[in-house]
Amino acid sequence: MRKSGPPKGLISYLVLELLDERPRYGYELLGEITAISGGHWEPSYGSVYPILYKFEEDGVAERVERADEPDRKYFALTEAGREMLVEKRREIGGEAKDFGDVVLGFYHLYAALATDDRFAVDDADGDWKFSERYSAWIVEQTIRHHERDFGEFERIDATPEEFHAGNSENAEDSENTEDSGPAASGAVN
């Protein structure tokens, strides 16, 4: 169970990965991270810019001057940054449970606001509602993204306890078939 927010280190990891692709400036990084989340999450300026300045101070990133945009502060990854990225990949790789907890936790809260009589949310004037229909739309979008990235969605009929017990037993089997989906071949819509 997570206490709050996205898993620790997520934003700095994303910044490192994006800087590894090519030099970028802060606002561009914010836009990229928002796009990666499908437009549903955007870190604050107050989280991205301090990371960039800390990376610069620590020698993880360096400013890059561009003649065509002299007023923008571009940052590029240094060799020390690439070494840090290797560590961050390992660190974030161990955060899968926290990511799942964030997604499931917020979905459960959404459903509770729609169904639990203790809550009386007044969402009559909003574009979104806490309702069965909107919940179904969220689930539908999740399935569509799953199918886009991994292939046909197959329901898993197991309690969390059964899933986790069986998942650890079948880890080798899933690793052998993991790279066969559309994302592995580069086919992303």
Report pLDDT digits (tens) over 80-95.
Answer: 999 999 999 999 998 8
Residue 125 belongs to a domain: yes
71 shares a domain with 17? yes
Provide the residue type at 97 as one letter: K
Which residue among 93, 108, 141 closes a domain?
A: 93
- The answer for residues whose C-beta is within 8 angstroms of residue 155's C-beta and 6 or more apart is none
Q: How many domains does the chain have?
A: 2
Higher pLDDT, 112 or 164: 112
Helices (H), 22-95: 26-36, 45-57, 79-93
Per the domain annotation, does 115 fall within a domain? no
Instruction: Say yes or no: 20 and 89 in one domain.
Output: yes
Q: Which residue stretches of the chain are H helix?
A: 10-21, 26-36, 45-57, 79-93, 96-115, 132-150, 160-169, 171-177
**β pairing state of 24-25 and 61-64:** unpaired
Range of the domain at 149: 121-180
Q: Does 143 fall in a domain?
A: yes
Identify whether residues 126 and 170 lie together within a single domain: yes
Distance CA(102)–CA(10), nearest Å, equals 12
pTM comes to 0.76
Dump pLDDT digits (tens) for 105-158: 899 999 999 999 899 888 777 788 899 999 999 999 999 999 999 999 999 999
